[in-house]
Structure 1
Amino acid sequence: MNLSALLTSAGINIAITVSLLSLYSILRKQPSNVSVYFGRKLASTCERRNDAFSLERFVPSPSWILKAWETTEAELLELGGVDAVVFIRILVFSIRVFCIAAVICIFLVLPVNYYGKEMIHTNISSESLEVFTIANVQEGSGWLWAHCLALYIISCSTCFLLYFEYKSISKMRLAYITRPILNPSHFTLLVRAIPWSPEQSYSDMVKDYFMNYYASTYLSHQMVYRSSTVQKLMNEAEVMCNVFKHVTSQHNSNQNSFPRHLCGVASNPFTILSNETESVKGHVEFDVLESSMEKEYATAFVFFKTRYDTIIASEVLQSANPMLWVTEMAPEPRDVFWSNLCIPYRQLWIRKIATLLAAIVFMFVFLIPVTFVQGLTQLDQLSHALPFLRGLLKLKFVTQVITGYLPSVVLILFMYAVPPTMMLFSTIEGSVSHSGRKLSTCIKVLYFTIWNVFFVNVLSGSIIGQLSVFSSVKDIPKQLAEAVPIQATFFMTYVLTSGWASLSVEIMQPLLLLFNILKKFIFLIKEDPPDGAYSFPYHTEVPRVLLFGLIGFVCSILAPLILPFLLIYFLLAYLVYRNQIMNVYITNYDSGGQYWPIVHKATIFALVLTQIIALGVFGIKRSSVASGFTIPLIIGTLLFNAYCGQRFSPTFNKLSAQVLMDMDRRDQQAGRMEEIYEQLRSAYSQFRLTQNSGKAARINQDENSCKDVHTNHSEYQESIADSEATLRPGNEISS
């Protein structure tokens, strides 16, 4: 590929990005699109926009950019939780690192690459992009010290920034754990694999066991039940009642629109139905119905009197048979994935092996589209395989589009199938929390994209060639050193297509927009649902950002021309995702920053891989000095990773006994323990939480919140009070 083909791809993607961003700035102003672009605010308020016609609504404006830029980290923490702040921190970290890399490599490494061989540069636009890579440097050149120096600067600055980010996010996680809001999971133990007895029910078994061995600390327990068909119908009926209540609140202000009886009194059918359901609900004892319609599973939530007692019980082996009485800290009530609690514990290891094998098979099946994509970048092979295209491939513009734009587009289309598939695998594995399922999916998608987008594309060719390249482990650095500079041009176009254009598609929300158009203009449904927003897709966006980071590190000294494109992507992503967190996505559950250890390990892997490839390149270029200085850098990076693993990683895996005991003493001195025990009784009410999962998280502390809709829902009012308390520690931990 030459520079003109790269510029063609850049021009296409810039046009798409600018057009979609301009269109977004217009569409977001239309009252009919409130549910698409302001789903978060719609979920927390009943405000409906019915603005009069104005030409200003049809003029593009950068107002959303200014609002996204001016939003503080404390506001993001209030709106999106710790995970949202951690994700933005990933982008900020990437911007800082690649700003340093771009300055060093563009002004130091790129001129060395371009003038690495004695050749006459006449027309830059028609030259191959290989002249901008390290492949253009002569063997034994003394200028390779520039690449080694740049590698040292990038590696040291990355480790320096990683350390302080890890330290800051660890403090943020500690503040999240010690916030004054009650977290029922700190008092709750999830017990699985309860042994079956023909003489006792599972509930009696749990009570007898914990009264026998934890008599002084055991408080109570809550069994996990299997919902019957009647219970599901009750849940669906409750949802319909909520819809009618929402419609009622919309029509209360316009009673004259309903027909009147002969006596002149207006009748509102929605009000009548809502009142009837409330009266029926008041006379029905749901606890009695639930107890008669459910079947116990061998899983229970066990409540303890203090946080310290709970964590001690979670760490102890409860039985001589480790497959019985298996305990762990329970997830937060809103984070519980109830359907997986019913999976027998003995099946979990089989499920994990099965999903691992399925993921490996899926990974190798995906080699077929990746091989096809790489065939598009090799016009000689393409014309030989498809002779009828030879005349078309002689056209310059067609050649530039096929080699510079089409391969990355085709690969992106195939990649859309990866996150849903990995989410299915993570669900089958048996994760007991929504956040845990997303974390598992994030790791799977990350491994998959690194392998298929990076390694398979670097070592492209036939499938047999891709497999045979790993016949000797010692040849891997050499193979990568030879292949990465060649494939750097493909990664440049991939950053343009999967980076810039995908961000514009993300902010446009085309599927939601299409659904909204069909709903309002085809099916004539004018009302917006009060809970139309959905949660942030960390399992797709975190791997995408980390993949671009890997590409940036590897190509920084080998093909530095990619760095400006990457830097623009991270800057644009910073604005787009801040806007989405503010206006579109809601926070149903929060892992408390558990994504950062994944980011840290992926960044260290990218650094070490970059150093190993650089070592191979220096060996090929016969620069013993540069090779000798690279080896200590690899060792130092691994030692830094080991130190961070000892210093920060345990705080993300376990809860501190010192912190929990201090929280217990604080609550005991304040006389809150009885109040906490009372709240624990209903914290893990299965049927209420399965129906209203995540709704409490959607209620922000807004003065214009829907008082009428929330009056009949006590859990909403409790969540509002909790959300107001969240702001106090949030202001303290913002950096």
Structure 2
Amino acid sequence: MSKPDIIDIIRNANTDRGNFDVNSILSSVGFSLGISAILFVAFSLLRPRNTVVYAPKLKYADEKFAPPKLNNAPWAWIKPVLRVKEDYMLERIGLDAVIFLRFLRMCRNYLLFLTVLGCGVLIPVNLIGTNKLSSSNTNGTNPLLKLSTAGLYGSWLYAHIGMSYIFTLALLLLIWHNQKRVIQLRRKYFASDEFQASLHSRTLMLIDLPSQARSDAALAERASTLKQAKPYSQVQMGRDVGKIPALIESHEAAVRKLEGYLASYLKNPDKLPAKRPTHKGQDAIDYYSSRVRSLEKQIEVARDEYEAFRTKPYGFISYPAIPQAHAVAKANKGDSNVFLAPKPRDIIWKNMGTRQSTRTSNRIFGNVLFVFMCILWTVPNALVATFLQNIYNLGYVWPWFQGRINANPKLWAAVQGVLAPLILTLFFLLLPVLMRRLSQFSGSLTKTSRERNVFHKLYLFFFVNNFVIFTLFGVVWSFVVSSIVQTAQDQTGFAGFWRALKKSDFFAGASNAIINTSTFWILYVAQRNLGCFVDLVQIWILVLKWVKRTFFSPSPREMIEWSAPQPFDYASYYNSFLYNFTIVVTYAAIAPLILPFGLLYFVISGVTYKYTLLYVSITKVESGGSFWRVLVNRLLWILALANLVLFVVIWIKIRIYTAIAVAPIFVLLIAFKLFLWKKYDTVFEYCLEEASESQVPMVHKNDAKKDRLRQRFGHPALTQPLMVPMVYEKSRHLLRQVYKGRLTDDESGSLFADSQTFSGDGIAMTTPHKVGQSPFADSPGSTGTQTPGLSRAGSFEGRFELVREGDVADEKYVHQVAEANGNDEHLFADVSRPGTRQGSLAPSEHEDWSRPSTRGIERKPVFATTTPPRAPYPLMQQPSESAMYTLQDTYSTASLGEATAYHGALQHPAYVEDQDDYTNLLRQEDVGHQEDYERRAPSQRPPRPW
């Protein structure tokens, strides 16, 4: 093709581009709103019939955390979501979720203010100024750019400078207002019964202890030498648990493999496959069942040898009261080795014993790998930025494609409006997984800190690659194209091209190119509304479940895990919303047309994600709102970026002396950050006596006596329940055939877990039990407390747990899996949560006492039933040892009365330990059965209540 032909293509493309951009935006908005409306109606119609999918917390959550009830009307979910208040949500969904929703409301309110001023003031100024200046670059060619600052120069930009101050002050006032409210919420969190009763809230964690200080005695000495040292209750060094965690991980993987092979082989019990599944040339079912038994024995031996293991370079110090621990932590804040202890479930135990030098080297390598990922993504990002955000650029270098565009401009406008934003959106789904693994490899000690690290990396990655680099490539391409046109006109070849590059006004072109890319970002933000409804309908989850159920053979455990409420991914969602907020605020002054699209996005998000957090998702580990300070820092950075972009545009379009008028804003932002740090950081982080107001801190005096630190902050591998393979009940008659007659091992004649009801042929079967009926009972009148369908702790005799297909969404299994995966917070009541089932009189030293679960976990001596109390709990004096020795039948009211002097109804009997400690509750499951207790291996026996 000749040079004149190229020039004609570029000129025609520039002529038609204005209408093309308008069509792209209309196509993108129409596509997004149309599909969103369809998904909204689909959700409203499907929700009443699919509670397990669309309101699992309504089905499974205990009374303490249950959201407002919903009827079956299609639109019945809207009113409760709009009316529910923040204080109501605080108790049910936790502070992390409340702060997330508060952040969305703050962004929504801010963008509403900006939309009114941007559309009511700046767009008229831009339109009038552009028409009067009659810019050849914009007037008559691209109507969208008339609404931006692309055609403005001189005094017409003074209005934008003034608006930048108003925009900045408005967000600072909103941050200050919300900061005060967050501090109030934090104080309520500190004053909550859960926080006051938990052990972690009054415990310090010390890491990187030198080898000479790795003993309990040395740690006690260290506790007395800390700044503002207080009398402590107990110290506990971390211990090396050897290969136990790796063995448990291998055991879990083997159990899941075995379940998968069994589910596939026994999918149709009436017609088994002719060939049994194989693994590396062996019978897969026999191989994995043998491996499971072998790993169980190895774990049992390793746990018995635990006391001989050496200590690790970390430890814990508990204090009698929360203000004492927090005062010591505050005084030693500059010490990088002293921290407030996280919740035990929040700790990444694998990284706790890692040396500081190893964590440092891993962190450096992780950062290098992160930079490499950023560079690697530059190539596909450049292609998207250059050709997909403006599809006419592809026509510049591909004349045939330019002809297709000219033939069907509306079709290709729709493609441009959908394709490029969709590619970036899909990439959002993949990157968090990589960043999470990278952060854990870098040495994060807690899941909460790991998630904040993921958030940092995600935001930095998307800001640099999908905003800076994306915009920069658009600028460079525009500059190169204009030079090509000039060179072709002069017909001077490469030397002329180089002269054209040097003569061209790069900065002016860069300014216009930055503004021109606003069209793409409008398309991108407009499509984000679609993402909100995709999340609400859970379309990907539904498709994945349908594919697995139709074409594969999911195991009972997989089916149960699909039914359980899933944890909310705060890091990914915070990154997504902040990234979009960055785009909207950055372009607010120079291309205000983006504001109504951003406002619509946050309005819809506020409603949809409020429903999600109330009814669908849970917080895996409550951090008490630890993301808030990170969010504030990011918001201040966004304001700085938006004003920096405006500074550059003013500098290019007028002169630097005029642009300096924006500079005081940066000083204001720094001063505001220092104000927040000085006034609020300490109050936010620490629960001190002066901050507790009228709250009387709870005092705990028996940590050492009851060895609470070891029980709560011991490595979970020592007490973690081992998985019991699950098999569908419909296949139980085939198990003898599947196992070729080998239904027992050397130690036991039982194939099935202990907590099952036995049929006449000796085959065990998991069946739901009525409240108050023991799964171990010989008669329907017996009572017990074991959760139905779950195997007893400490037993290595059971081999399988049979599950009815209709019971995979049953509450007992969902609670079991949620607890095993650590997803039970704000779902069902732990015994440590006062006011909840199994929790009104929970011991204060135990934050997360476990429900009855699978074998291997250490049981705690507390009475509990599976139903909420019907009357106030009776309180008695602590029973004597002689009385407790007479307690042989734990399910007998008479025997219980003899031990506790209480002869009322058999429900949650409790005794008062002392006035200063939190009231304790006895829970006794099966330890009263002496024969069963004695035949267990010593390492697997639960502690006796006496």
**Normalised by the size of structure 1, how large is the TM-score?**
0.76
Which of 569, 594, 598 in structure 1 is aligned with 2:630? 598
Which of 141, 144, 148 in structure 1 is aligned with 2:157? 144
SS of corresponding position for 2:342? coil
Alignment deviations for residues 227-269 of structure 1 (CA, whole Å, 9 cap, x no partner): 545995599699999xx9xxxxxxxxxxxxxxxxxxxxxxxxx
- Superposed counterparts of 1:557-576, under 5 Å: 557-576=589-608
Whole-Å separation in 2 of the counterparts to 1:215 and 1:95: 46
Alignment deviations for residues 590-640 of structure 1 (CA, whole Å, 9 cap, x no partner): 222221212211111121222222222223332789645423333323322
Report deviation, 1:700.
Answer: 4.0
Distance 1:196 1:601, change over 3 A: closer
- Return the letter of the residue paired with 1:422: M
CA contact (8 A) 2:244 2:302 kept: no
Which of 90, 95, 104 in structure 2 is aligned with 1:77? 90
Which of 360, 365, 375 in structure 2 is aligned with 1:364? 375
**1:159 corresponds to:** 172
- Superposed counterparts of 1:540-551, under 5 Å: 540-551=572-583
**1:535 corresponds to:** 567
Whole-Å separation in 2 of the counterparts to 1:598 and 1:357: 23
CA contact (8 A) 1:552 1:563 kept: yes
**1:443 corresponds to:** 456
Distance 1:13 1:704, change over 3 A: same
Alignment deviations for residues 332-390 of structure 1 (CA, whole Å, 9 cap, x no partner): 12322222213222212112211111111111111112111112234444134445534
**2:673 corresponds to:** 641
Determine whether 1:389 maps to 2:401: yes
Whole-Å separation in 2 of the counterparts to 1:240 and 1:291: 24
**1:254 corresponds to:** none
Report deviation, 1:681.
Answer: 4.9
Determine whether 1:67 maps to 2:69: no
Report deviation, 1:168.
Answer: 1.3
- Return the letter of the residue paired with 1:346: S
Whole-Å separation in 2 of the counterparts to 1:5 and 1:117: 22
Report deviation, 1:79.
Answer: 2.4
Tell me which moved more, 533-542 or 567-576.
533-542
Report deviation, 1:313.
Answer: 5.4
**2:3 corresponds to:** none
SS of corresponding position for 1:29? helix
Which of 56, 63, 74 in structure 2 is aligned with 1:39? 56
- Return the letter of the residue paired with 1:673: K
SS of corresponding position for 1:590? coil
Q: Which runs of 5+ in 2 are unaligned?
A: 1-19, 64-70, 260-295, 480-504, 722-819, 840-849, 854-858, 873-946
Alignment deviations for residues 649-680 of structure 1 (CA, whole Å, 9 cap, x no partner): 344455546448997x7434xxx533797454
CA contact (8 A) 1:481 1:613 kept: no
CA contact (8 A) 1:334 1:693 kept: no
SS of corresponding position for 1:28? helix
Q: Give the alignment's Cα RMSD to 1 decimal.
A: 4.4
Determine whether 1:330 maps to 2:341: yes
**1:472 corresponds to:** none
Same amino acid, percent of matched pairs: 19
Report deviation, 1:503.
Answer: 1.0
Determine whether 1:376 maps to 2:388: yes
Which of 677, 702, 723 in structure 2 is aligned with 1:674? 702
SS of corresponding position for 2:131? coil
CA contact (8 A) 1:189 1:328 kept: yes
Determine whether 1:20 maps to 2:39: yes
Whole-Å separation in 2 of the counterparts to 1:171 and 1:184: 23
SS of corresponding position for 1:118? helix
Determine whether 1:297 maps to 2:312: yes
CA contact (8 A) 2:432 2:458 kept: yes
- Return the letter of the residue paired with 2:419: L
- Return the letter of the residue paired with 1:169: V
- Return the letter of the residue paired with 1:492: I
Distance 1:476 1:180, change over 3 A: farther
Determine whether 1:486 maps to 2:500: no
Distance 1:318 1:485, change over 3 A: closer
- Return the letter of the residue paired with 1:140: G
**1:512 corresponds to:** 541
**2:362 corresponds to:** 351
CA contact (8 A) 1:334 1:588 kept: no
Report deviation, 1:690.
Answer: 5.6
Distance 1:636 1:361, change over 3 A: same
**1:173 corresponds to:** 186
Q: Please identify which structure carries the higher helix content.
A: 1
Distance 1:206 1:673, change over 3 A: closer
Distance 1:563 1:290, change over 3 A: farther
Report deviation, 1:226.
Answer: 2.4
- Return the letter of the residue paired with 1:372: L
Whole-Å separation in 1 of the counterparts to 2:349 and 2:867: 24
CA contact (8 A) 1:710 1:716 kept: no
Whole-Å separation in 1 of the counterparts to 2:864 and 2:345: 15
CA contact (8 A) 2:366 2:442 kept: yes
Distance 1:216 1:180, change over 3 A: same
- Return the letter of the residue paired with 2:394: L
CA contact (8 A) 1:478 1:613 kept: no
**Normalised by the size of structure 2, how large is the TM-score?**
0.61
- Return the letter of the residue paired with 2:150: A
CA contact (8 A) 1:307 1:660 kept: no
Whole-Å separation in 2 of the counterparts to 1:479 and 1:355: 38
SS of corresponding position for 1:606? helix
CA contact (8 A) 2:234 2:703 kept: no
Alignment deviations for residues 493-550 of structure 1 (CA, whole Å, 9 cap, x no partner): 11022x1121122112234323433565664878745972222111111111111221
Whole-Å separation in 1 of the counterparts to 2:826 and 2:254: 17
Report deviation, 1:192.
Answer: 2.6
Aligned residues: 646
Determine whether 1:587 maps to 2:619: yes
CA contact (8 A) 1:113 1:133 kept: yes
Whole-Å separation in 2 of the counterparts to 1:415 and 1:716: 47
Determine whether 1:93 maps to 2:106: yes
- Return the letter of the residue paired with 1:607: L
- Return the letter of the residue paired with 1:496: A
Which of 809, 822, 825 in structure 2 is aligned with 1:697? 825
Report deviation, 1:84.
Answer: 0.8
Which of 518, 521, 530 in structure 2 is aligned with 1:501? 530
SS of corresponding position for 2:678? helix
SS of corresponding position for 2:48? coil
Distance 1:495 1:718, change over 3 A: farther
- Return the letter of the residue paired with 1:667: M
Report deviation, 1:195.
Answer: 3.6
**1:257 corresponds to:** none
Distance 1:314 1:705, change over 3 A: closer
Whole-Å separation in 2 of the counterparts to 1:364 and 1:465: 22
Of structures 1 and 2, the larger Rg is shown by 2
Whole-Å separation in 2 of the counterparts to 1:572 and 1:118: 35
Distance 1:624 1:231, change over 3 A: closer
Distance 1:379 1:681, change over 3 A: closer
- Return the letter of the residue paired with 2:438: F
SS of corresponding position for 2:240? strand
Determine whether 1:455 maps to 2:468: yes
**1:275 corresponds to:** none
Whole-Å separation in 1 of the counterparts to 2:223 and 2:672: 44
Q: Which has the higher contact order (CA 8 A, sep 6+)?
A: 1
Whole-Å separation in 2 of the counterparts to 1:615 and 1:13: 33
